[in-house]
Chains A and B, each alone.
Chain A
Amino acid sequence: MEQTSTILGLLAQTSIHAGTGQQTGVIDLPIQREGHNGWPCVFGSAVKGALRTRAEQHKLAALKKNEVLLVLDARTYQDKVQQSDDIAVVFGPPPGVAEIKHAGALIVTDARLLLFPVRSLTSQFKWVTCPAALRRYQADCQRLGGDFPKVTIPQPQDQDGKSQAIVPTGSPEDDLFLEEYRFSVRREDLSSLIAMLADLMATADAAGLLEQQLVVVSDNSFAHIVNHSTPVNAHISIDAQTKTVRDGGLWYEETLPPETLLYLGLSASDGRKEGAAMDAGKVLGSVLGLFTDKPWLQLGGNETVGMGWCAVKPVAKGG
C-alpha cells in the first residue's frame, strides 16, 4: 500500500478553546479531553476541519492571485474551491454534498498533549510532562513509521507524600513550585529528551528554553495538574445600549494556555476520487505544503478574538 505518515508539532501561540459543546460541571464551556485520562486534547475531527479550512484559504488565495476566481458566490466557492481535486481528494467531499462518492485520503489523529505550561514561583513558567505522555509520543512515532529517535524516559518517584520532579542538570532550583504544589527536585541529563521535544517546537532556541523550563513529573501529578490548572475565564455579554450585563450573559470558559505543546499524526493513502490521481506522497505533501510559507494553524473556537493560533512544525516523514 502506498501510504506515508508524519507527525506535526503544534505550539500554541494564543489560548485555544476547542470546546466540547456540552456542559459537564461548573464550567459552562469546558475544553475537549480524553475520556480515559482526562488530559486536554483537540479531537481529530476539529483538527481536520482546521486543516481543511487552511487548505481552502490557500486555494482561494491561489485562484485570486491567478485571477481565476473573480466572483465569490456560494456555488462558485463550492465548485472551484471545496470540490477542487486537491482539496476533495485529501479531505473528502465538503459537508452538505448530496452524494458522497469517495472518502478522503488523509487520516488525522487527535492533537495530543505533550508539554503543558504551568505557573511557577521560581521562573516564568515550566513546561511539564510525564513518563506516560512521553511513552505515548514514542509509541505514536513508532506507529506512524518514521525514523524517530529512541530516548530513555525519566521516571520521577513520588514517595512519603512528596512529589518528585526531574529537571535538566543545569537547573538552579532545589525545590520547585508548580502552581501551589511543592516538588522535590532530581537533576538528570535530559539532553536527548530535550532534542526530541525541541524538534516539535516551532520557536527559536527551543532546546535552550527547554534546558531552563522542562520538568518531568509523575503520571499522577501530571493528571492532577492538567485537570486543575487550565485557565478558566469569566466572560460577560454587555447590552450595547445600556452598557450593562445582559441577563444570563455571564459564562465561564476553559482554555488551553499559550505555550502548550500538542502533536498530531497524519497518515495519507492514495486518493480515491475518480479522475483525480494523487498518490499518498502527493496527498501528504499537499497538506505539509500549506505550512511552507506561513507555518500557522488556527484551532478551535473564538477565532475572531485571536484564539487558537498554533505554530506548526512537521517532524519527520516516514512510510
Chain B
Amino acid sequence: MGDTQQQLWRFKALDTWFFRESRPMESVGGSELLSAFPPSPRTLAGAIRSVVGEHHRVDWRQWKDKAQQPPLKQRIGDADGLGKLTVSGPWLACENAEGEVERLFPVPRNLVALREGNSIKQTLRMQVGKPRYCDLGKAVRMAASPLLEAKTAALEDEWINATTLYQVLMGGICQPDALVTTRNLFAREARLGIARDNMSRSVETGLLYQTRHVRPMQNVIVEMGVTGLLADDHPMQGVVRFGGEGRGAAYAVQPLTDTCFPTKVQANSHTHGILLMLLTPAGMANASGETAYAPLPGFQCTEQSGATVWRGQLQGIPLTLHCAIQGKPVREGGWDLANNQPRAVQSLIPAGSVYYLTVDNGDIPAAIDTLHLTQLPAEQNELALGRGLLAVGLWPDNELMGKE
C-alpha cells in the first residue's frame, strides 16, 4: 500500500448526460425535468467512489452496515460522508486539437455585458453603489451599473479561462472574444420517454416522462481534483455510470501537477479593498450552527460611517463586507444510491458570486496571501466537497460610488 496522492480525474461523455434538477419526477405534471450542468461535486465523488469500490469488489449492501469499518470504507466513506477523500471542482474544461486542456471558470458577477442584438459589444465592471435603504438594513451598498442609461446583462452563460479570470481579478475587463459561451460547450436535448409493457406491447399507464439531457461537445471535459486515494485504488481509465438515466462517461486519472487556477493578484496604490469570488458554490449554513442571516460565515451586521456593513474574520483576517453580487441560488439534491432515497435539497450560493471587502488591519497583501484559494468555513463534509473555494481579486478605489 502506497501513499495517497493528488489526482486529477477527467470525465468525457459517451453521448449525453442527465443530472436531474432537484425536483422529483412525480411533482412536475406535464413539464420536463432539466439537467443540472456542470454536475454537483457529490455526483462526481459518487462516481469516483463507485470506480474504487468496484475495483476492490465491494459488496455495497454490506457497506451500509455502520458497524463495518474496513480500511477502504474509512478512506472513501459512505452515504454520509466522503471518509478521507477531499475533492475540488467539478470544473469544465476544453481540449484543443493538440490535446491541451484548458480549464474554464464562471465569469465573476461583477462583470456584466453591454449587448448589441445577440452579440456582446463589451464587458463592464459593476460599481459599489451609494448606501440605500432596503430589507437588509438602513444603508446598504448594492452593486450598480456604471452606465445607468444603458441596459447591461449578467454573464450567466459565459465562461473564461484562468488567464482572463486573472485579468478580471486584477481590476480589468475581458474582451468579448475571450468569453466561451455555453452553447459552444454543450447542447440541451429534449427527451420524451415511455415505459412499455413488453407482455402486451402497450404503453404503461402513468409512465410518460419528459427530461432534457445535456450533450457535451466532443472536446468538453468535466474534471475534478481528488486527494485521499491510493494509486492502486482504481484503474487509470475506464467507463463509469455517470449521473442519471444510466448514462456513461469515459474517465482517465492522472497525477495533479498543475493547479490550473488563476495566479495570485498583487495590490497596488489604487486598491481600496479586496474582492472575493466564489470559484465553487458555497453553502451559507454556519459551521457553528448560527441561524441568523450572515452573507459570509460568522459575519455580523453593524454600522460604519452611516452605511450598513458586516464584520467578521476569514482565516484570521479581520474584514468588513460592504457589498455582494450573488447569482441565483443553486438547488442541489441528488440520489443516495446506497440507501435508495433522495438526498435533502440544499440551496447554495453559485460560483461566480463576488464580495467586496476592506481589510480592517489595512494589510491587503497579507489578506491576499492568506485567502487566495482557501475555502469559506463550513462543516467538514462540505469542505471535503470543495465548497466555497475563493479567488481573491482587487477592489479598485474607482469602483466605489459616494466615497467619503
Contact = CB atoms under 8 A, between A and B. Distances in A.
Task: Tell me whether A and B are bound partners.
Answer: yes
Interface of A: 1-3, 5, 20-22, 34-36, 41, 43-45, 48-49, 52-53, 56, 72, 74, 77, 82, 92, 95-96, 99-101, 103-104, 106-110, 112, 136, 139-140, 143-145, 265, 267, 269-270, 272, 274, 303
A19 B13 CA distance: 23
Contact of A44 (B190, B237, B246): B246
A45 B340 contact: no
A3 B246 contact: no
B54 A45 contact: no
Given A45-B193, A108-B246, A109-B248, A36 B217 contact: yes
A140 B246 contact: no
Given A82-B198, A110-B16, A145-B238, A272 B60 contact: yes
B45 to A, nearest CB: 16
B66 interface: no
B151 interface: no
Indicate the size class of the contact surface on chain B.
Answer: 35 or more
Contact of A267 (B207, B217, B234, B248): B248
A303 B201 CA distance: 10
A96 B195 contact: yes
A303 B196 CA distance: 13
Q: Quick one: which of B14, B217, B241 has the most chain A CB within 10 A?
A: B14
Given A103-B246, A144-B239, A49 B196 contact: yes
A35 B189 contact: yes
Interface in B245-266: 245-248, 250
Contacts of B201: 303
Interface string B63-91: 00000000000000000000000000000
B191 interface: yes
A104 B246 CA distance: 8
Contact of B337 (A56, A103, A145, A270): A103
A74 B202 CA distance: 13
Contacts of B248: 107, 109, 265, 267
Interface in B189-234: 189-196, 198-199, 201, 204, 207, 213, 215, 217-218, 234
Given A1-B238, A112-B15, A107 B247 contact: yes
7 contacts: A1-B54, A1-B55, A3-B54, A92-B246, A104-B246, A143-B14, A145-B238
Contacts of A104: 246
Contacts of B14: 107, 109, 140, 143, 265, 267
Q: Quick one: which of B12, B189, B234 has the most chain A CB within 10 A?
A: B189
Contacts of A108: 246
Nearest to A108: B246
Given A49-B196, A109-B248, A274-B61, 8 more contacts: A1-B235, A21-B192, A22-B190, A44-B247, A53-B198, A95-B195, A106-B246, A272-B60
Q: Quick one: which of A74, A106, A143, A267 has the most chain B CB within 10 A?
A: A143
A267 B340 CA distance: 23
A2 B54 CA distance: 7
A171 B334 CA distance: 56
Contact of A36 (B193, B204, B215, B337): B215
